[in-house]
Amino acid sequence: MIVLPPAMGPAALRRLAPQVAKASASSPAAMAARAFHQSASKNTFFTSRIVPRVASNTAYASKFPSASLMSRIAGASRSYHQQAPVAAAGQASTMRKLLVGGAIFGGTLVVTNIMFNRETRDDGGMPVYEREYLNNTFLHTGLGIGIIAMTARQMIQSGFVYRIMMANPWVVGIGGMALSFGTMIGTRMIDPDNYVPKYALWTAFNATQAAFVAPMLAFVPGALLARAGLYTVAMMGSISIVGATAKQEKYLYLGGPLLAGCAIVLASGLAPLVIPATAVRALAFTENIWLWGGLAVFGGFTLYDVQKVLHHARLAERGVMKRDPVNESISLELDFINIFIRMVQILMMQQNRRK
C-alpha cells in the first residue's frame, strides 16, 4: 500500500499512478476479490442454467452435483418400486411354508388317529397330575433343544466344528458316542433330588448332541433349517396329541418292534461304509430306509415315549417312582434330533433336484 504525502499536486499524482495501480493489484483485498470471482465462475451455484430433474449422463452429473443428487433420488425411488414385488414374494413363501407345516401337522394327526387311535381314553380324560408331568417334560425337552441349538451355533462360530472335521473320523465318532452314552447314562442314574449334578450332566449330554449336529448345520442355509424345524415340530406335535388322547398304555407294546426298526435304520446308515460306491441301487435303497424308515421309526418312538411319560406319571402319583422330567425329556430330544436330521436331508434333496 502507498502512503501519499499530504501536500502533493496533480502532476505528482499522475507520475505515481502506475505504482499505485501495481500496488493495488497485489494487495490482499484485490487477490481475495479475484479468487472469489474465479470460484464463482466455476461454481454451479452462481450459474443461471436450469438443471434437468434426472441426469442420466455421468459426465453431466459429475459437472452438476445437484443433478447427481436428483439422479440418486430417482434411482432410489426406482429401486424401492423394484423391491416391492420381492417383498411380496418373500411373504408368499413364508405363508406357503406355514401352510405346509400345518398340512404336516393335520395330516399326521388324522392318519395316526385313523390307523392307531380308534380307542380313546375311557377314564374321563387326562388327570391334572398327568397333564402337569407331561407339560413339565415338554418344557425340559424344549429347553434341551435350545441348549443344543445354541451350543452348535457357538461351535460353528468358534471354528470348533472345522477342527472336528479335520480330525480322525473314527476317533471323533467313537469318542463322541462314548461321551454321549456316558453322559446320558450318568444323567439317568442320578437321583432327581440332586439338582446340580443331574442338570450338569444333562447339559453335557446336550453338548455332545450339538457336536453331532453342528457339522451338518454349518453347511445348510438358515431358511432351510427353519423349515425343517417347523416340520419337525408339526410332526411331533401331532403324534404327541395322538399319544396323549389314546387309551392308557395302548402303545407301550411298541418298544420292542421300534428297537428292531431302529437297528435296521442304523444298519442302513452304516451301509455306505461297507457297500462299494458302484452299487448305486443298493446305496439308494439303504438311503431310502435311512430317511423314510427313520421318520416312521422315530415317529413311532415319539408315540411310545409320550405314553411312557403318562405311565410314569401314574406310577409317580402312586408313589412307586419319583417324578423325573429330565430323564423323560432325553428320549423326546433324541426323537426330535433324528426326525429333524431327516427333514433337513429331505429338503436338501428337493432343493438339489430343483437346481
Could you read off the pLDDT of 304-343 as tens digits, one per residue?
Answer: 999 999 999 999 999 899 999 999 999 999 999 999 999 9
pLDDT at 284: 85
Q: Decide: 205 and 327 in contact? Cβ < 8 Å.
A: no
Average pLDDT over residues 70-85: 46
Residue 232 has pLDDT above 70, yes or no: yes
Higher-pLDDT residue of 90, 262: 262
Average pLDDT over residues 59-74: 45
Q: Calculate ∠ Cα 320-325-328, nearest 5°.
A: 90
pLDDT at 1: 45
Using only the alpha carbons of the chain, give its radius of gyration: 38
Most confident of 48-57, 99-108, 226-235: 226-235
Average pLDDT over residues 147-174: 88
Angle between helices 128-158 and 325-354 (to 10 degrees): 50
In order, the DSSP letters of 65-113 are HHHHHHHHHHHHHHHHHHHHHHHHHHHHHHHHHHHHHHHHHHHHHHHHH
In order, the DSSP letters of 313-341 are HHHHHTTSS---HHHHHHHHHHHHHHHHH
Question: By CB neighbour count within 10 A (0-12 exposed, 13-18 middle, 19+ buried), where does 76 fall?
Answer: exposed
pLDDT at 7: 45
Question: Residue 59's pLDDT band (boundaries 50, 70, 90)?
Answer: very low
pLDDT > 90 in the chain, percent: 37
Three-state secondary structure call for residue 15: helix
Higher-pLDDT residue of 38, 323: 323
pLDDT > 70 in the chain, percent: 65
Three-state secondary structure call for residue 50: coil
d(CA 246, CA 237) in angstroms, rounded, equals 14
Average pLDDT over residues 151-172: 87
Neighbours of 200 (CB within 10 A): 15
Q: Calculate ∠ Cα 209-180-172, nearest 5°.
A: 80
The chain-wide mean pLDDT, for the chain, equals 76
**Number of continuous H segments (helices) and E segments (strands) in the chain:** 13, 0
The DSSP output letter for 120 is B
pLDDT at 199: 95
Q: Tell me the β-bridge partners of 120.
A: 246
Average pLDDT over residues 234-247: 87
Question: Residue 243's pLDDT band (boundaries 50, 70, 90)?
Answer: confident
Of 12-26, 215-229, 322-336, the range with the lowest mean pLDDT is 12-26
Q: Decide: 193 and 240 in contact? Cβ < 8 Å.
A: no
Question: Residue 52's pLDDT band (boundaries 50, 70, 90)?
Answer: very low
Three-state secondary structure call for residue 219: coil
The four Cα atoms 333, 335, 341, 346 give a dihedral, to 10 degrees, of: -150
Supply 34's cell numbers. 479475484
Residue 188 has pLDDT above 90, yes or no: yes
Average pLDDT over residues 264-290: 84
pLDDT at 44: 42
d(CA 300, CA 243) in angstroms, rounded, equals 10
pLDDT at 113: 58
Question: Residue 68's pLDDT band (boundaries 50, 70, 90)?
Answer: very low
pLDDT at 146: 95
d(CA 199, CA 203) in angstroms, rounded, equals 6
pLDDT at 47: 42
Higher-pLDDT residue of 299, 13: 299
Neighbours of 289 (CB within 10 A): 19
Reference 294, options 315, 264, 270, 320; nearest CA is: 264
